[in-house]
Amino acid sequence: MQLLKRSFILLLIAFTAYAAVSAFFAWRLTSPAHRIVGAVPADFPSTTQTVNFLALDGIKLSGWFVPCDNATVAVVLLHGNGGSRRQVMARVGLFHDAGYAVLLYDARGHGLSEGDKVSAGWFETADLLGALDFVRTKGLHKFGCLGISQGAATIALAAEKLPPEVAWVILESSYPNMRDALDRRFRNYLHLPGWLAGGLFMPFAEWRLGVAIDDIAPIKHIQNLPCPVFILGGTHDQHTLLESTRALFNAAKAPKELWLVAGATHVDLYGFAQQEYARRILAFAAGASARP
């Protein structure tokens, strides 16, 4: 009897600890990741503007707008989870030199933007739509969108809401659905499958966000993108596996392109293969922008 009682107490302690750890990580994953952004980089054009605008649901966002003389297309750059606009700033010169205006901004709960929750792209769709509205105030009415990881997921999740003025989108290293994304991270960091390590994590995260985990699935929305799509992924990415990137590509409708960057992990693909990246990305953007 004593052994049974002791075993029950040990199980209760273990379950309580498991629940506490799950709640902690669910809270941490969905909490803001504010970071110091710093001044506009010295190599940005002198016309670069520090801007603030509202997401569609009223969250105040912060970013940099880089105008370009005679530009007819504005590129909106979206960073990944835990980052800021600085994560995508290397691409500013790439697009600006090719004749595009550029907006890069901090997603809600990141950098200098307001927001008390992070949702892996779900609520961040309102940030993207607010960014497009802001760019319209600059007199530009044709857009390209490029996102990395969570930023890419945000674009896909917004597919049904994107205006027809979006001429193309580029999705880098996007997860197909949140269960897949969490499973990969639990396996990488805890060496445990997602169903075990995330058994209570997911319900806590759903309660915190007020969204079902299974609804946060770019693969369910990608076919509704209203424009050509270019999907990129690293062949050695352990956060978004090769088969996940292929699945996203297969779910997208034509016209579409796929580039699997040989040897790349979940890294800055531009920095990893800069010359080839520039060639492929600019060719895709130019071709898609020229479509009627």
Average pLDDT, the chain: 88
Question: What kind and span of H or E run contains 244?
Answer: helix 242-251
Summarize pLDDT for 104-152 with one digit per residue, the tens: 999 999 999 999 999 989 999 999 999 999 999 999 999 999 999 999 9
For the chain, the maximum distance between any two Cα atoms, rounded to a whole number of angstroms, is: 83
3-state SS, residue 18: helix
Residue 139 near residue 133, CB atoms below 8 Å = no
Supply the DSSP symbol for 223. G
Q: Please, are residues 209 and 122 in contact by the beta-carbon 8 Å criterion?
A: yes
Q: 222: which 2 tokens?
A: 């990608």
Q: Which residues contact 145 (CB under 8 A, 6 or more apart)?
A: 75, 76, 78, 128, 155, 162, 166, 168, 169, 170
- Helix 178-189 / helix 201-209 crossing angle, nearest 10 deg: 130
Report residue 189's pLDDT band, with 50, 70 and 90 as the boundaries: low
pLDDT of 58 > 80? The answer is yes
Fold of the domain spanning 47-177+216-289: Rossmann fold (3.40.50)
The pLDDT, as a whole number, for residue 51 is 98
Top-confidence residue, 268 or 6: 268
d(CA 215, CA 208): 15
pLDDT at 196: 53
Give the confidence band of 23 by pLDDT, cuts at 50, 70, 90: low
Structure tokens given for 18: 């498991």
pLDDT in tens, 195-251: 554 556 677 677 788 888 889 999 999 999 999 999 999 999 988 989 999 999 999
Lowest mean pLDDT among 6-10, 35-39, 42-46, 63-67: 6-10
* Annotated domain spans of the chain: 47-177+216-289
Q: Please, which pLDDT band fits residue 35 given cuts at 50, 70 and 90?
A: confident
| pLDDT band at residue 15 using 50, 70 and 90 as cut-offs | very low
Q: Confidence band (pLDDT; 50, 70, 90) for 28?
A: low
| β-pair type (229-234, 143-148) | unpaired
pLDDT at 188: 61
pTM of the model: 0.90
